[in-house]
Structure 1
Amino acid sequence: MHHHVSRRSGGRAARHAARSAPLPCAMRPVRGGLPGGTFNPLTADEITRIHHAALDALEQIGLADAPASGVTAMVAAGAREGEDGRLRFPRALVEDMLAKAARDITLHGRDPAHDLLLSGTRVHYGTAGAAVHMVDVKDRSYRDSTVQDLHDAARIADRLDNVHFVQRPMVCRDVLDNYEMDINTLYACCSGTAKHVGTSFVEVAHVPGCMDMLHMIAGGDAAWRARPFVSNSNCFVVPPMKFATESCLVMEACIRAGMPVLLLSAGQAGATAPAPIAGAIVQAVAECLAGVVYVNALAPGHPAIFGTWPFVSDLRSGAMSGGSGEQALLTAGCAQMHRFYGLPGGAAAGIADSKLPDMQAGWEQGISNVMAGLAGLNMVYEAAGMHGSLLGFCHESLILADDLLGQALRCVRGIEVNDDSLSLEVMRAVCMGGPGHYLGQDQTLELMQTEYVYPALANRSSPKEWQEKGRPELIEAATARKEQILSGPAPARFDPALDARLREAFRIHLAP
């Protein structure tokens, strides 16, 4: 047999230049929206049992404390208000509303290149949370987080390929007025990144002003409604099985304003949710199904994310422990339930209980992010930068998460098996009269960039090379990258005329 040897054009330098040029997104080995779903901790029978238990809970226990407007809408749709003031949901009502619920929704970026299609098992990783502290890696301390810290986090995330959206990860502790805090949170995130932004609003009175700002950024109400680039992270329930009255009113206002909502149920297993993993999933699913009824009773087909976010407690102390194997299983099990309903879903992973970006943080962030991705979770929230069981956020950790999530996404992508990848012809050429190794093979060189993910900061040099280079440290490398990103102008910043109008209309705390 004659084997055709391809003559690659250009010399070694040209090939090296081609390899080091950034790949177009579709050719990169990993990207947002890769399908997961190969990891299934629950069997089909167990999923059905959880579903029926959640329906029983809704029919028999129901939820308390819905606002009057919510009660009216849900009772009109078929919910029953009991003597005890609890709303109960017949099975048929839940099934009807599941049939009306939005599927395959797109969360828009301000730049369409960052649009996220939430369908099937497509996986996206991003930030989230409400940390009240900033982690300073230099003197290993915690301090109050500021609006500048939040803006910097958005600017950094904007430049990280494997962070696909920015839900505000920390609270602006230096903006004391709650309305100004909501306004400045929006401003800090949207002027820092062109990716999809998530945020929450303290109370319903704040929504109109925040929508005014978004209309100004979008270019009017119609332009905003066509491509809403911010979603409302809404804790519409106070587990166990109670509606959060004020948050429900915020949710209603956001729905009227054309803003997608994340229906967020954040029970803590052993405290505000049952201690067994299965029981925590049952309650989270029941609460989110009540949210599906609520949203679709108000506005059938309004884009809503099924946000089962049950957390784990360390039962020795009652403290939250987001970095545990139990948390990873909880999140993966929830992702399976989202797939069972065919709804766009989100849950939390990547939370470190460790106070600093150290080895403990690495395993805590790595295990849960990989399991969430393999389970096919559409939106993996809190995937980057979170420490101290959600109390601290760290810019260096956010940067290192880009490498961590790149490897997680490579696991999600899985193994392609086809005639070319089975490699029989290449084996034949190498082993029978060939060089006896695969290093210079066309196949090897062609796949270097499309099959393999190379970390930006993680160090893979030999101990000898590492010594010769002055023993570089991971955290120092992340700090240098942070300073490099923040030293230039932000690509996502508003044009000066719009920025001037925003600063005239609202009290913006960030220096221009």
Structure 2
Amino acid sequence: MNQIAPRRSGGRAARRAVRSAPVSDAMRAIRPGMEGGRYNPLTPAEVERIHQTALDALEQIGLADAPPSGVAYLTGAGAIQGDDGRIRFPRALIEDTIARANRSVTLMGRDPRHDMELSGTRVHYGTAGAAVNLVDVDGRYYRDCTVQDLHDAARICDVLDNIHFVQRPMVCRDIADNMEMDLNTLYACCAGTTKHVGVSFTERAFGRKGIEMLHMIAGSEEAWRERPFVSNSNCFVVPPMKFATESCEVMEEVILGGMPVLLLSAGMAGATAPSTIAGAIVQATAECLAGLVYVNAVKPGHPAIFGTWPFGLDLRTGAMTGGSGEQALLSAGCAQMHRFYDLPGGAAGGITDAKLPDMQAGWEQMCSNVMAGLSGLNMVYEAAGMHASLLGFCLESLILGDDLIGHAQRCVRGIEVDDETLALEQIRQVCIGGPGHYLGTPQTLARMETDYQYPKTANRMSPKQWVEMERPDLNAAATARKEAILSERSAARFAPDVDAAIRAAFRIHLPS
């Protein structure tokens, strides 16, 4: 016993020293863009059937309600407008478009270290949605979201390692004018984070004004076009199988302005999409293929994300079930279709139907986040903070979600098997003439940060330590971290002269 005790003590001291040393991004156990793709809910034959059925739907049914400009673009590319006004897509047109489309898209941050390469099975997690309520954890109530809440969310995301991008998660309910809301949403997000930002625009003219603001933030139009750090989340379809006229016009505008596009098809299984999981994936795939033709007709090769976002429905009540197992399967199946086409893609994950950050929220968020990552989804949207089936957003849940996504990413990374990790020689050294344990061995110390992921807010105390620390509450710990983050000035804030110029050109509601 006397011989072993110093070794154990020395091991603890060595581990503490290793843990206190900073670890480079390349050496972290988890990091943005790790490759998933080992989980396949569909067989190759089933993927092929979904693909062929989507082509049948586009060729035989087509999409209605394209704007006149869209009709011109699409028919110019080879689509056919029938006497019923619907645009139908010959198989050859779809196949040629897929062959020509971008296989890799880089979504850039204002800070280049946040750039994300979307290709293959590289996985990234971030926010999204349009919650109208902010969840107050302490008071256990919901209230209208404000532009300040949105800015706070962006600021918190900026310092969370496992939130890789910030697509607008809330609607600024305190701004009544739609154009001012769109422009203030853009301002609040960009002033809060240097990670990639996603926003939407209600009308074509609003998109044009938004790009003007982005030129000012970037420093010039040329600088913006060289590094577009904002993408347009575009609901270009109204499922089932209809174009959203105004959104299509916005899409045309932002493409010409150099902004990447998320082609977002968000049907509700059992309501605006077939109730079966396979049928919902077919419709979302068909709609996004039509969108891909549209984008490439406007500008060949323009960066576009294949955004199949079918949602689940509780058929007993008609309520959305974003936290269900069916939702996890929908997103994982969509990821498999993205891989089949070898196109950058995104879908929803991490939504919870729970009203507060509780055990229900935890199991629902983890289920879809893990499955989306394992399936190799490039962009997992709505991965943290989203409650009440997209109606509520919670800043504390965003912070807790950072830990949760860290665990999900560790699952995505998987298990490395090689001579070193199989550890035969290490077993030999420990068992034959060694200490009989692996604590403090060079191999263990070397792997502490590179192989293991550690939560920042969750605790792993023993019950005794927990009592000694006055029984800390997880939500209270998240609130304390939120307040600490927001007590510091935003590292993403604009230079004073840039901010003054923006405020002179636009009505900014966020206090300076």
Does the alignment reach a TM-score above 0.5? yes
Question: SS where residue 351 of structure 2 aligns?
Answer: coil
- Distance in structure 1 (CA, Å) of the matches to 2:483 and 2:341: 44
Identity of aligned residues (%): 73
Structure 2 match to 1:124: 124
Task: Give the letter for the 1:253 counterpart.
Answer: E
Task: Give the letter for the 2:223 counterpart.
Answer: A
Question: SS where residue 485 of structure 1 aligns?
Answer: helix
Structure 2 match to 1:62: 62
Deviation track 1:426-479 (CA, whole Å, cap 9, x = no partner) reads 000111121111112111111011100010011111111111110000000000
**Superposition deviation, residue 420 in structure 1:** 0.6
* Residues 1:23 and 2:15 are matched in the alignment: no
Question: SS where residue 262 of structure 1 aligns?
Answer: strand
Question: SS where residue 389 of structure 2 aligns?
Answer: coil
Aligned residues of 1:107 and 1:196 also touching (Cα < 8 A): yes
* Residues 1:448 and 2:453 are matched in the alignment: no
Deviation track 1:37-65 (CA, whole Å, cap 9, x = no partner) reads 01000000000000000000000000000
Aligned residues of 1:62 and 1:88 also touching (Cα < 8 A): yes
* Residues 1:143 and 2:163 are matched in the alignment: no
Structure 1 match to 2:274: 274
Task: Give the letter for the 2:213 counterpart.
Answer: M
Question: SS where residue 46 of structure 1 aligns?
Answer: helix
Equivalent residue runs for 1:101-500 within 5 Å: 101-500=101-500
Task: Tell me the number of residue pairs that the alignment of Structure 1 and Structure 2 aligns.
Answer: 503
Aligned residues of 1:133 and 1:393 also touching (Cα < 8 A): yes
**Superposition deviation, residue 16 in structure 1:** 3.0
**Superposition deviation, residue 18 in structure 1:** 3.9
Question: SS where residue 237 of structure 2 aligns?
Answer: coil
Question: SS where residue 39 of structure 1 aligns?
Answer: coil
- Distance in structure 1 (CA, Å) of the matches to 2:435 and 2:11: 21
Aligned residues of 2:430 and 2:436 also touching (Cα < 8 A): yes
- Distance in structure 2 (CA, Å) of the matches to 1:294 and 1:79: 10
Structure 2 match to 1:511: 511
Question: SS where residue 125 of structure 1 aligns?
Answer: strand
- Distance in structure 1 (CA, Å) of the matches to 2:52 and 2:38: 24
**Superposition deviation, residue 19 in structure 1:** 2.2
- Distance in structure 1 (CA, Å) of the matches to 2:116 and 2:469: 40
**Superposition deviation, residue 15 in structure 1:** 6.3
Task: Give the letter for the 2:162 counterpart.
Answer: N
Deviation track 1:279-302 (CA, whole Å, cap 9, x = no partner) reads 000000000000011111111100
Task: Give the letter for the 1:379 counterpart.
Answer: M
Structure 2 match to 1:5: none
Aligned residues of 2:11 and 2:439 also touching (Cα < 8 A): no
Question: SS where residue 312 of structure 2 aligns?
Answer: strand
Equivalent residue runs for 1:76-87 within 5 Å: 76-87=76-87
- Distance in structure 2 (CA, Å) of the matches to 1:79 and 1:147: 42
- Distance in structure 1 (CA, Å) of the matches to 2:493 and 2:14: 36
Deviation track 1:352-377 (CA, whole Å, cap 9, x = no partner) reads 00000000000000000000000000
TM-score of the pair, normalised by structure 2: 0.97
What RMSD over aligned residues (CA atoms) do the two structures have, in Å? 1.1
Aligned residues of 2:169 and 2:393 also touching (Cα < 8 A): yes
- Distance in structure 2 (CA, Å) of the matches to 1:478 and 1:207: 36
Task: Give the letter for the 1:208 counterpart.
Answer: R
Aligned residues of 1:127 and 1:168 also touching (Cα < 8 A): yes
- Distance in structure 1 (CA, Å) of the matches to 2:12 and 2:246: 64
- Distance in structure 1 (CA, Å) of the matches to 2:311 and 2:199: 20
**Superposition deviation, residue 13 in structure 1:** 5.9
Aligned residues of 2:198 and 2:232 also touching (Cα < 8 A): yes
Deviation track 1:226-271 (CA, whole Å, cap 9, x = no partner) reads 1000000000000000000000000000100000000000000000
Deviation track 1:1-53 (CA, whole Å, cap 9, x = no partner) reads xxxxxxxxx99867634422331111110011000001000000000000000
Task: Give the letter for the 2:173 counterpart.
Answer: R
- Distance in structure 2 (CA, Å) of the matches to 1:22 and 1:195: 22
- Distance in structure 1 (CA, Å) of the matches to 2:261 and 2:12: 52
Aligned residues of 1:97 and 1:297 also touching (Cα < 8 A): no
Aligned residues of 2:15 and 2:445 also touching (Cα < 8 A): no
Structure 1 match to 2:7: none
Question: SS where residue 311 of structure 1 aligns?
Answer: coil
Question: SS where residue 448 of structure 2 aligns?
Answer: helix
Aligned residues of 2:15 and 2:440 also touching (Cα < 8 A): no
Structure 2 match to 1:75: 75
Aligned residues of 2:14 and 2:440 also touching (Cα < 8 A): no
Gap runs ≥5 in structure 2: 1-9
- Distance in structure 2 (CA, Å) of the matches to 1:206 and 1:241: 25
**Superposition deviation, residue 91 in structure 1:** 0.2
Task: Give the letter for the 2:326 counterpart.
Answer: E
- Distance in structure 1 (CA, Å) of the matches to 2:116 and 2:35: 13
Question: SS where residue 450 of structure 1 aligns?
Answer: coil
Deviation track 1:301-346 (CA, whole Å, cap 9, x = no partner) reads 0000000000011000111110000000000000000000000000
- Distance in structure 2 (CA, Å) of the matches to 1:21 and 1:143: 42
Task: Give the letter for the 1:246 counterpart.
Answer: E
Task: Give the letter for the 1:482 counterpart.
Answer: K
* Residues 1:90 and 2:80 are matched in the alignment: no
Deviation track 1:175-225 (CA, whole Å, cap 9, x = no partner) reads 111111011000100000000000000111211211110000001111101
Structure 1 residue runs of 4 or more that deviate by more than 4 Å after TM superposition: 10-15
Task: Give the letter for the 1:353 counterpart.
Answer: D
- Distance in structure 2 (CA, Å) of the matches to 1:455 and 1:276: 37
Question: SS where residue 152 of structure 1 aligns?
Answer: helix
Aligned residues of 2:14 and 2:445 also touching (Cα < 8 A): no
**Superposition deviation, residue 77 in structure 1:** 1.1
- Distance in structure 1 (CA, Å) of the matches to 2:343 and 2:221: 27
**Superposition deviation, residue 138 in structure 1:** 0.6
Select between 436-445 and 241-250 the one with higher mean Cα deviation.
Answer: 436-445
Gap runs ≥5 in structure 1: 1-9
Structure 2 match to 1:502: 502
Question: SS where residue 208 of structure 1 aligns?
Answer: helix
